[in-house]
Structure 1
Amino acid sequence: MDTAMTSTTGTTSTTCPSCGGPIGAADRYCEACGAELSPAATPATAAIDTDTEPTVELNPSAARSAEAPPGPCRSCGGVVGDDSYCQTCGTKAAKPRDHFSEQPAPWVAAVCDRGIRHSRNEDAVAVSADAEPGSRAQLVVCDGVSSSLDSDVASLAAARAAREVLAAGHAQGMGTESSRNSAVVARLKAAADAANDAVLANTSPDSPNPASCTFVAVVLEGDLLVAGVVGDSRAYWFPDNAEPVGLTVDDSWAAELIATGVPRQQAETGPQAHAITRWLGKDAPDHTPRTTTVKVDGPGWLVVCSDGLWNYCSEAAPLADLVRQTAAANRGEPLATASALVDWANAQGGQDNITVALARL
């Protein structure tokens, strides 16, 4: 996933022995090719960006609820032992956290997947919705920063904490459109506060790399869409009969380059393409989400995703085409469409964790 940009000096890096890509001093896996790195492959000095596996679980009951006991072996149906291997065919069982989905209503669904290259799933998603299609929904995606410890725990706790705040209130304001907008924006900021508190609760006070994650959330209240973002997870609105809209702008080095005129493709494939400038966590410079408000005046798809998806299809127009074609192939069913989009991202290489949350309005 992304790396957090800091002002720390003395960073040391080298190259992956498999693909030649850049790696940090404490990396255990190459971000470019996914190769496991031996201790001799990295320099001994400390670095900022790492893929260190989690060593501490401070609040497993709150954030590890996706970790249920393994079911029958997916390969042969046999019994999976305590060592996570099938006692019949020897296949290693997938962790429930590696791939999970949510569908609170038929018109809203989300799928979160480890991808192919990474050893753990640091993405997280939490969604809720009323039963009536297009009425009211809340979609949250958090993407753990791979250079921080326990980012998989923290991201899941953050997403669920934000969802609880967003789902608890029904914004009315003072009865005017502007006051309703302000009420939803205030609720989004409260959700980001709750998410940040959840990250802090899942961070060891002695951690050299405090847990951190991105945050993007979208609230639908009837004809009103309000999106809030910290980091580089994204939200899009793809109306059926109008131009697609990107609801968020990344807090990233790449976005800053694009703002200066650097072509998007160049900025998003450069060496600092996934370095983020804002995030949730103990060392976050500012976790107040930047918000965007859009009025919905027709049917369409609301998409909230991590960079595991948009990295392969960044701009709104081609991503809208992909979503529409995928939805058509899956009879417009949100869960099947989200799952197919995850499969598509894995087919492109699956170099990162992948999260796709959809609402069909």
Structure 2
Amino acid sequence: MTSTTQTVCPSCGGPISDADRFCEACGAELTPAVPAAATPAIDTDTEPTVELNPGAARGAEALPGPCRSCGGTIGADGYCETCGTKATKARDHFSEQPAPWVAAVCDRGIRHSRNEDAAAIAADPEPGSRAMLVVCDGVSSSLDSDVASLAAARAARDVLAAGHAQGMGTESSRNSAVIARLKAAADAASDAVLANTSPDSPNPASCTFVATVLEGDLLVAGVVGDSRAYWFPDNTEAVALTVDDSWAAELIATGVPRHEAETGPQAHAITRWLGKDAPDHTPRTTSLKVAGPGWLVVCSDGLWNYCSEAAPLADLVRQTAAANANEPLATASALVDWANAQGGQDNITVALARI
């Protein structure tokens, strides 16, 4: 985001700058080349300031569940009493399912040391009626991006869920009302990032933002950064609802092949984000009418890194859904597992609505 000296990560050889605390490619913590200035250290391995399970009793989420490796009991020292595996933190892997037809799963992945992705979703009980899906991806080189991304996603979700967009009773005014609400949600997300940024931070917290709103047959998506939204109808062509704010997207627009642009040294350099040093956080929006059944997918680059184009990703989602009885939570979880099986080099978030 700023002009800094470029070098390579000692763990994976990926490009990094002298301001980076973590490698964007593999998540390895980077050792400063020079002694740190005599300023108070900022703890980047923090738990979220927002509870992961708001409905649970305070403090309940701090109690570790069964060991994810063997199912054994986690001891007081934070390690499994059966196999010795260190317990994962609640922030490393969590899910939401506000209604049976909508779900999200957020996972640390394999290579990163912390989960900087976040998801926050809401939905009415009736399938296909009304849903709000928000995904934010914290920028690895910024401090406390794990805290900021979760706060941003929750703040945006709450704005979107606050009321129905009716407009003036016409289709165009209803669409305009939803777009206005999406922009207000991005404002709230930006404010949440700023509220979780140290005023003296050399690398202020920042994250991407993507949100979708389904109001009956109207679907609207808004994006800042390179997290994505897709509409995968059952019987017609897959649709990418968003275009990345990234160096790779700019190369693609000039005619560079997608594979070449998305695997280059600056493939994940974003051109817009939420944060103190953001140039602009107004989301670019897309609207469409939902004419039949399908899957609404909102995800971070931890998923689409391994299947970028809409059509192949649609095939993957449909096949995974079919293997999981079209159940959104099981399907989202299986897609996260698939991304981890491909290497899990980034945090992974998948939010789904079965319409």
TM-score exceeds 0.5: yes
In structure 2, distance between residues paired with 1:90 and 1:248: 43
Aligned counterpart for 1:326 among listed residues 308, 320, 329: 320
State the match for 2:91 in structure 1.
97
Aligned to 2:200: 206
1:193-218 Cα distance to aligned partner (Å, 9 max, x none): 01111111111111111111000000
Residue 62 of structure 1 pairs with residue 50 of structure 2 = yes
Pick from 22, 34, 46 the counterpart of residue 15 of structure 2: 22
Q: How does 1:141-156 map to 2 (within 5 A)?
A: 141-156=135-150
- The CA distance in 1 between the partners of 2:199 and 2:51, in whole Å, is 18
Question: After superposition, where does 1:119-158 map in structure 2 within 5 Å?
Answer: 119-158=113-152
Shift of 1:288: 0.5
Aligned positions of 1:86-235 closer than 5 A: 86-87=80-81, 89-235=83-229
From the superposition, tell whether residues 326 and 27 of structure 1 become closer, same or farther in structure 2 (CA, over 3 Å). Answer: same
Q: Which residue of 2 aligns with 1:49?
A: none
SS in 2 for 1:157: helix
The count of corresponding residues between Structure 1 and Structure 2 is: 343
Deviation at 1:101, TM superposition (A): 0.5
Residue number in structure 2 paired with 1:264: 258
For structure 2, the residue ranges without an aligned partner over 5 or more in a row are 37-41, 55-60
Which residue of structure 1 lines up, in the alignment, with residue 73 of structure 2?
78
Query: What SS is found at the alignment partner of 2:50?
Result: helix
Contact 1:109/1:335 (<8 A) preserved: yes
Deviation of 1:19 (Å):
3.9
> What is the identity percentage for the equivalent residue pairs of Structure 1 and Structure 2?
85
Distance in 1 separating the partners of 2:185 and 2:285: 12
1:12 and 1:45 in contact (8 A); partners too: no
Q: Which of 278, 286, 294 is 2:280 aligned to?
A: 286
Distance in 1, matches of 2:72 and 2:35, equals 46
Closer, same or farther in 2 for the Cα pair 1:311/1:56, shift >3 Å? closer
- 1:96 positional shift: 1.0
- Residues 306 and 342 in structure 2, CA contact (< 8 A), matched pair in contact too: yes
Distance 1:280 1:300, change over 3 A: same
**What is the root-mean-square deviation of aligned Cα atoms in Å?**
2.1
Alignment partners' CA distance in 1, 2:66 and 2:233: 41
CA contact (8 A) 1:78 1:89 kept: no
Q: Distance in 2 between matches of 1:64 and 1:222?
A: 29
Q: 1:53 to 1:266 in 2, by over 3 A?
A: farther
2:58 matched to which residue of 1? none
Alignment of 1:339-358 (within 5 A): 339-358=333-352
Alpha carbons of 1:319 and 1:254: their partners in 2 closer, same or farther (altered >3 Å)?
A: same
Displacement of 1:71 in angstroms is 2.6
Q: Name the CA distance, whole Å, in 2 between partners of 1:96 and 1:211.
A: 21
1:220 is matched by which residue type in structure 2?
L
Give the conservation status (yes or no) of the 8 Å contact 1:248–1:292.
Answer: yes
TM-score normalised per structure 2? 0.91
Unaligned 5+ runs, structure 1: 47-51
Distance of 1:87 and 1:170 partners within structure 2: 49
Secondary structure of the structure 2 residue equivalent to 1:275: coil
Q: CA offset at residue 241 of structure 1?
A: 1.2
